[in-house]
């Protein structure tokens, strides 16, 4: 049987920092379900990004999360590896035009799509990643192939197989290993092209404002008093606010990264044997510089998976989303995994998001720290006391946390008829980048009876 705890209520709690709001989830026991005879067990948790998810697109985000969960569970039920299941979930998320990964990713400054992706296997601890990859429809499939090829051992002449490739080299490796190329015109969607045009216009206006600011400073320095310089872009008088960083420019012409396009996708999986895997995929920030690589490709930053061992009482899997530069400088995926080895998973994740992310000394100069994570941890536990039979049971705790306005997630066990989805949002009054939301639940997976 399977017992699952789900969200029942939310309360706002004060945190150690006066600038942080923590959302605690109170869980309850729903009905138990009978495990089907001979059915393999497993669990998947996916996310469609930490950023902002409008109510108008909520249905699409939830639907793609449901499909991703179903793809992963189908793989697990067929006896596939955890890495194959997490890859199947990511491919479904990459193929959605509503997510910033694979198809429909953000375009860079040159109007091109360059994607990052990575995957980690908790059993072998092997890792595969690609960065700034163009011309491949599903970047996670290349990352997974790198992981698999790496497990085969050394190449000819004793060469070490690569685990992380970027740019043209990654593309050529993928094609050489049978992964089909995708014409660039297919990767961009009408949504991503429209966003690119809007962002390019904002950039042009912002650059005009910046030029006016420079001219104004020069005139002031030459003691030309009394003149009032108008901005050629918007007709306003340019003012250098925010410590001389061009605050008006940022307020007027900020790109769409802070309003819905931080939606990196990811998934974490545990299979019947207790093996965990994690993966992440992203198109990166809008109008990023060509060649920029974000957290989705970097070891310990985009995802982490590690089975239980001599020093780890729990198996853990983590996938991150948000501003790549913030996640890279805090190595958030591995930080979360390490923290989850303590007894209270909820408290451990909350403290990590507060102290290692929002309050990180590496991000002390940032006005707002934007990111989100999904995590799961699992361990073997004894059967219920009233049970006369000793069946192997897998206890799975799953959580998501974010400092962005919202985060869309979905989750499903192999015994569930359909996936559950949820858009987590910061409570009213909470400030994105300075507040933390955390939610989640627990499920118990019992191995199926032999037929």
Q: Identify whether the C-beta of residue 349 lies closer than 8 Å to the C-beta of residue 312.
A: no
Is 264 designated active site?
yes
Q: Is 100 exposed, middle or buried (0-12, 13-18, 19+ CB in 10 A)?
A: buried
Q: Identify whether the C-beta of residue 185 lies closer than 8 Å to the C-beta of residue 135.
A: no
The residue whose two tokens read 């035009």 is: 97
What is the rounded distance in angstroms from the CA atom of residue 141 to the CA atom of residue 133? 12
What is the rounded distance in angstroms from the CA atom of residue 410 to the CA atom of residue 358? 25
What is the rounded distance in angstroms from the CA atom of residue 283 to the CA atom of residue 293? 10
Residues 6 or more apart in contact with residue 131 via CB below 8 angstroms: 116, 164, 165, 166, 167, 170, 293, 297, 298
DSSP string, 345-395: HHHHHHHIIIIIIIT-GGGTT-S---EEEEEEEEEEEPPPTT-SS---EEE
Nearest to 101 by CA among 118, 85, 84: 118
How far separated are the first and last CA of the chain, in Å rounded? 15
Which residues is 3 bridged to in the sheet?
A: 444
Residue 312 DSSP label: B
What is the rounded distance in angstroms from the CA atom of residue 387 to the CA atom of residue 8? 28
Q: Of the residues 264, 316, 330, 404, which is catalytic?
A: 264
Q: Identify whether the C-beta of residue 267 lies closer than 8 Å to the C-beta of residue 46.
A: yes
**What are the residue numbers of the active site?**
264
């Amino acid at each position: 049987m399977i017992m699952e705890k789900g969200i029942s209520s939310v309360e706002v709690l004060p945190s150690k920092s006066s600038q942080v709001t923590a959302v605690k989830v109170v869980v309850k026991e729903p009905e138990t379900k009978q495990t089907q005879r001979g059915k393999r067990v497993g669990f998947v948790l996916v996310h469609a990004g930490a950023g902002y998810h409008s109510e108008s697109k909520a249905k699409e985000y939830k639907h793609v999360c449901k499909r991703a969960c179903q793809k992963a569970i189908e793989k697990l039920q067929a006896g596939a590896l955890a890495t194959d299941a997490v890859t199947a979930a990511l491919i479904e998320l990459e193929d959605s035009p509503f997510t910033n990964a694979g198809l429909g990713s953000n375009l860079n400054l040159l109007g091109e799509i360059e994607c990052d992706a990575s995957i980690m296997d908790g059993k072998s601890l092997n890792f595969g990643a690609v960065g700034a990859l163009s011309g491949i429809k599903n970047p996670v499939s290349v990352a997974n192939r790198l992981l698999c090829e790496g497990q085969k051992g050394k190449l000819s002449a004793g060469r070490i197989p690569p685990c992380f490739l970027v740019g043209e080299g990654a593309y050529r490796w993928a094609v050489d290993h049978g992964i089909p190329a995708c014409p660039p015109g297919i990767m961009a969607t009408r949504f991503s092209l429209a966003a690119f045009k809007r962002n390019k216009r904002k950039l042009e206006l912002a650059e005009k404002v910046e030029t006016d600011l420079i001219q104004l400073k020069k005139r002031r320095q030459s003691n030309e008093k009394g003149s009032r310089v108008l901005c050629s872009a918007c007709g306003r008088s340019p003012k250098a606010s925010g410590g001389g960083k061009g605050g008006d420019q940022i307020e007027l012409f900020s790109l769409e990264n802070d309003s819905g396009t931080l939606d990196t996708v990811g998934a974490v999986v545990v299979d019947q044997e207790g093996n965990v895997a994690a993966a992440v995929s992203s198109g990166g920030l809008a109008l990023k510089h060509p060649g920029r690589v974000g957290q989705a490709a970097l070891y310990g930053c985009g995802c982490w998976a590690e089975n239980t061992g001599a020093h780890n009482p729990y198996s853990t899997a983590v996938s991150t989303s948000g501003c790549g530069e913030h996640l890279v400088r805090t190595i958030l995926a591995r930080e979360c995994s390490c923290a989850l080895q303590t007894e209270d998973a909820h408290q451990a994740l909350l403290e990590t998001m507060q102290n290692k992310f929002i309050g990180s000394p590496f991000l002390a100069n940032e006005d707002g720290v934007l990111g989100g994570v999904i995590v799961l941890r699992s361990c073997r536990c004894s059967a219920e006391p009233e049970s006369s039979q000793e069946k192997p049971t897998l206890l799975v705790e799953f959580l998501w946390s974010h400092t962005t306005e919202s985060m869309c997630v979905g989750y499903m066990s192999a015994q569930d008829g359909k996936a559950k989805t949820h858009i987590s949002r910061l409570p009213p009054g909470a400030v994105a980048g300075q507040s933390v939301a955390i939610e989640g639940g627990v499920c118990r997976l019992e191995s199926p009876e032999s037929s």
